[in-house]
Structure 1
Amino acid sequence: MEKLLYFRISRFSAFMITNSERPQICEICHSKAFGYNYDVVSCNACKMFFRRSNTEGVDEKCKKGGKCYDDLKYDLKKEDRPRCRACRYKKCVALGMRQHKSTDSGSATSPAAPDSIPSPTSEKSMKLLIVQKPIVTQAHVDSTLFQQMTALHKTRKEVYLTINICEDPSFLDLVLEGSNLSKYRRPQPIEWEKTERKLKPWGSLGVLLIVEIVKAMSFYEKLLLSDRVILLKNVAFKSHHLAIAFDSFMAKKGRVIAPNGEEMFPSALFEIEECNEIIMDLLTSPMQPILELNLTENEYLLLNMIMICNPAFSGLSPSGREILSEEQRAYARILFQICMITDPRKGPSRYGQILAIMDKLERQKEVTNRVVHAMRRCWKPDFYFAGVLIEACHLDYNRPPRVKMEIKDEQ
């Protein structure tokens, strides 16, 4: 039978020619060959040389500047030919030797197996192996969280300077509405002295702004409408007091001030002894733990998110608790890591002290109640108290304070 030889025409096809008695000659060194090695007719010596070169590399440089084989008189069999590994390997590659097509058969009668010819499918598979899946580490996730928190904090500070509206919505109204941030950025010309409020309500405006910041958070849309109302009622007031306390701390002030650098209350109230004492308590209490701990911005941002994502509020649905729990755990983990990195020895105690600020902020509701009663008694009997503050403090201040006192006496 005639022996069949396969010669490679292109990457994906080959043709056959018949061979009866012609001997096999190595295409690299022209010595006796023993069949196809790495898709080229070659001897065992050249086969082993090419294999070692692929695994160990070829470091030697050609003594003739890479021109050993430019003159056809040079051959591996000639004694005067320089033994150059670099040029020998270069010739192997030029003749078509490829590592991925290697066939270690030493038989002169073994043709190139059809399976060794790559198919379009195998070529596509080889390309897919090169594509690497993006690696997302926990550091990437934490960095994204910080970017979101920082952006919302910056937005709150900017809008708090411009917000000036006379509306008095409830928390349910705010949940049913879309975002109001664009409206808050366009201040209305209001003469507060001529309104029933008598002064600019920095407190209620700040609560309204916190509501919009929470509505912009990624987890908010996952909550049920009822869960949103419960969440905003419980966190907007406390988050507002934490935010203005930290803003004043960064401005190196001893007590809470308005975003424009002025006092939060009219100067006339500071001249009334009873009002002055209670107002100073309201403005200094939230700043004390911040001053004592010298709270950093990252710690403030994380504490604020831990306080907002509280799953312990009464009335939340199971799904709402699960969503908030997952969010809170993420921020709590990052805060604890920051405390431990800053000071491994005191990290756990600092972490606990930072979280304790949330309990101290709860006291602000009681102090706010006292401030409103004092303002009504000593300054403006018809002083108006915003609806969001009434809901947030869980108290009804629309009734005259005298009626409340009578009820208490009867009890």
Structure 2
Amino acid sequence: MADNRYFRASKIERNLMENEKFDEYSPSSSTSSPYTTWTQMEVPLQNVVYCDFTNEFLGASNGYFQGDFMQRFEGTPSNSMSPESQHNMSSSSTSTHLAIQAGSNGSNRSSPDQIDMKPEITLMAFNQLPKNVCPTICVVCGDTAAGYHYDVPSCNGCKTFFRRTVLDQRKFTCKKGGKCFEILPKEKRCSCRACRFARCVQVGMNPMAIQTDKDLKGNEMFKTIVNKRKISKEIVEEIEEPPANAQLLMELRLKENAFDRMVDSLMYLEIKVDKLRSSTYNPRPFEIGSLRDVLSKHSALSLAERLDPMPNWPLPPIPAHNPAEFCSPCQNPVRKAWMKSPNRKMWLFFDLLVTVEYAKTFDFYYQLDTQDQFTLVRYVSLMCMQATQSFYSYIINADTIVHPDGTKPQDMWKWRKLHEGHDKTHNECFAAREGLFEENVKQLKLNRICREEYVLLKAITLCNSAIGDLSEHGSKIIEQARVKYAEALFSLEMANYGPATGPLRFQSILASIEVLIRNAKKHRNVHLIAMLNKPHREGKPPRPAIALIDDIMDA
């Protein structure tokens, strides 16, 4: 590497790339001009020199690095700065000494006093240079270095001076205002001990590396230097990772962690839902009361851990019937016994009840007033129930709704078509209902939805802020919750499918909500027709309505 190369450091680039372009200057062809012209060249990363880079020194030297403060690795193989060696460098020093990328052209250069142009070059800390290469320049005084002393390249004189000053707690005063290293030539700089010691501290000499039998706990000078090093380390860390980027990365990590916790919470909640559906919990529909009654009580999902699974599931098939022998299940003792089995649940009522209990576990629900709670749950419960029934049918590879006890809604109503009092309209109603139970399952199969996607989809379905009867305050709260779960779903899809497919997957999953809304509307119409065509029981009062079902179906 040629001598007399001088560069001006006008910015710091922390990501060094091999063969990156740097400015190199060459003397002007005119000998009368003290200035130089500039050309651009390719400089390999291996050709490196270093010098001190601190705010104080830059201000004192007008931004130029003097040649006697440069370190050259003369005679070192060009691969001495391979990427592997850079990873093994010492990082104990917190000083901001930097290495300067230099060219390899051996032509003579003008002195720094003649340089007016200010090229941009790449710098890196000298503490990142390999320590198996002996330095040749002391970064304190500029004399020949004897090695690394107290974490910095230095001569024996500066090493001894720093050690004695710290141990003896000597204090010096500069008569030139602390500018001796700025205005004095190299030979006279060390004559000012105050500036020399300040320089030792400035370049990063580490007092904790001093080996001594003395107790340094009471050494005030030692404490002062250590505190300065801590502050310097914080500054360097800020330079190495810009605050804006660090803040952004921290926010992203926090968001990802929040999304993970959110999904874990929903997965745990879904375990409770699944257990309660399969448990012995089987309340009588007429004893539960209305939707407002259920909302006024604590969530029953806590019962899931305390109850046993329902025995004797799956249930045996519905008994076959002969249309010529009966017109109603009440007239057939076998079918009547099956209908009143204690192991059988009325799934429309029960799954609506479980869905209401599910909604009551969300934090945002308790930020709503009583009327908004009622309005929200009344409208979305049927859609969330369909999502639950469809998912647990989909994971057992069924093509239609299959309840945990093995029964299907279609089978429950086949015999009703043959009832003597049912007209054509009533039978068409149940035909439409049979198709209703297949569409949601088909949509989930189409997307091949996973459990994490399902729990987020159901939470987003629950957070419907577009309901007209909601208050403005309630709508805002629900919308905030919806956005939160939608962001979590989007993050999940991006993590699983990447930027190319993730957004499309996200849209496809959200499209399932439209299917749920459409089928919920169809389900309400089917229920209305069924109630209008309810068979008359001669000599008996009409059956009481199930208030919970009616409240939700009337939304």
Does TM, scored on the shorter chain, surpass 0.5?
yes
The alignment status of 1:229 with 2:374, answered yes or no, reads: yes
Question: Aligned partners of 1:304 and 1:34: how far apart in 2?
Answer: 69
Q: Deviations over 1:79-129 (max 9, x none)?
A: xxxxxxxxxx32x3x3234698328xxxxxxxxxxx97x9xxx9xxx9xx9
Aligned-pair CA distance for 1:161: 1.0
Instruction: Flag the 1:270–1:277 CA change in 2: closer, same or farther, 3 A.
Output: farther
Q: Deviations over 1:320-350 (max 9, x none)?
A: 1221111111111222233344153343333
CA distance in 1, matches of 2:208, 2:405: 70
How far the C-alpha of 1:251 sits from its partner, in A, is: 1.2
Q: Is the 8 A contact 1:270 1:276 kept in 2?
A: no
Where does residue 150 of structure 1 map in the other structure? 267
Match of 1:364 in 2: 520
* The one of 250, 255, 271 aligned to 2:400: 255
1:208 shift after superposition: 0.7
Partner of 1:355: 510
How far residue 388 of structure 1 moved from its aligned partner, in angstroms, is 2.2
User: Is 2:396 the counterpart of 1:244?
Assistant: no
Query: Counterpart in 2 of 1:14?
Result: none
Q: Which residue of 2 aligns with 1:296?
A: 450
Partner residue in 1 for 2:214: 95
The one of 493, 496, 499 aligned to 1:344: 499
- Counterpart of 2:464 (choices 310, 324, 331) is 310
Q: Which residue of 2 aligns with 1:277?
A: 431
Q: Which runs of 5+ in 2 are unaligned?
A: 1-156, 172-192, 235-249, 312-336, 419-426
User: Per the alignment, do residues 48 and 226 of structure 1 end up closer, same or farther by CA in structure 2, a change over 3 Å counting?
Assistant: closer
- Asked if 1:137 is matched to 2:254, the reply is yes
CA contact (8 A) 1:256 1:264 kept: yes
Question: What is the count of residue pairs matched by the alignment?
Answer: 310
Of residues 165, 168, 181, the one that matches 1:40 is 168
Indicate conservation of the 8 Å contact 1:249/1:290, yes or no.
yes
Q: Does 1:324 align with 2:484?
A: no
| Contact 1:39 1:96 (8 Å CA) reproduced | no
Report the Cα distance in structure 2 between the residues aligned to 1:206 and 1:312, rounded to whole angstroms: 24
**Contact 1:39 1:101 survives alignment (8 Å):** no
Quote how far apart the aligned CAs of 1:315 are. 2.0
Counterpart of 2:283 in structure 1: which amino acid?
A: I
Cα deviation, residue 200, structure 1: 3.2
2:301 to 181, 191, 205: 181
Unaligned runs of 5+ residues in structure 1 are 1-28, 59-88, 104-114, 396-411
Kindly indicate whether the alpha-carbon contact (under 8 Å) linking 1:239 and 1:307 is maintained by their aligned counterparts in 2: yes
1:193 aligns with 2:339: yes
Q: Give 2:361's aligned residue.
A: 216
TM-score, normalised with respect to structure 2 = 0.47
Q: Which amino acid aligns with 2:165?
A: N
Verify the 8 A CA contact 2:460 2:486 in the aligned structure 1: yes
Q: Distance in 1 between matches of 2:446 and 2:489?
A: 18
Q: Is the 8 A contact 1:230 1:316 kept in 2?
A: yes
CA contact (8 A) 1:38 1:97 kept: no
Counterpart residue type for residue 55 of structure 1: N
Give the corresponding residue for 1:169.
289
The 3 A distance-change label for structure 1 pair 266 and 377 is farther
1:171-224, Cα deviation, whole Å (9 max, x unpaired): 2112212222345765899x88359xxx73101111111111111112222111
Determine what percentage of the aligned residue pairs are the same residue: 20
The 8 Å contact of residues 233 and 391 in structure 1, kept in 2 or not, is answered as yes
Using the TM superposition, name which of 367-376 and 250-259 deviates more. 367-376
> CA–CA distance in 2 between the matches of 1:100 and 1:239?
71
**Alpha-carbon distance in structure 1 between the residues aligned to 2:200 and 2:474:** 66
- 2-side partners of 1:276 and 1:226: how far apart? 34
Aligned to 1:67: none
Show CA shifts across 1:44-63 (max 9, x none). 799799968853986xxxxx
What is the DSSP-based 3-state SS (H/G/I as helix, E as strand, rest coil) of the residue aligned with 2:206?
helix
**How large is the Cα RMSD of the aligned pairs?**
4.6
Distance 1:55 1:236 in 2: 68
Q: CA deviation at 1:385?
A: 5.4
Amino acid at match of 2:282: N
**For residues 57 and 305 of structure 1, do their structure 2 counterparts lie closer, same or farther at Cα, with a shift above 3 Å needed?**
same
TM-score, length-scaled by structure 1: 0.62
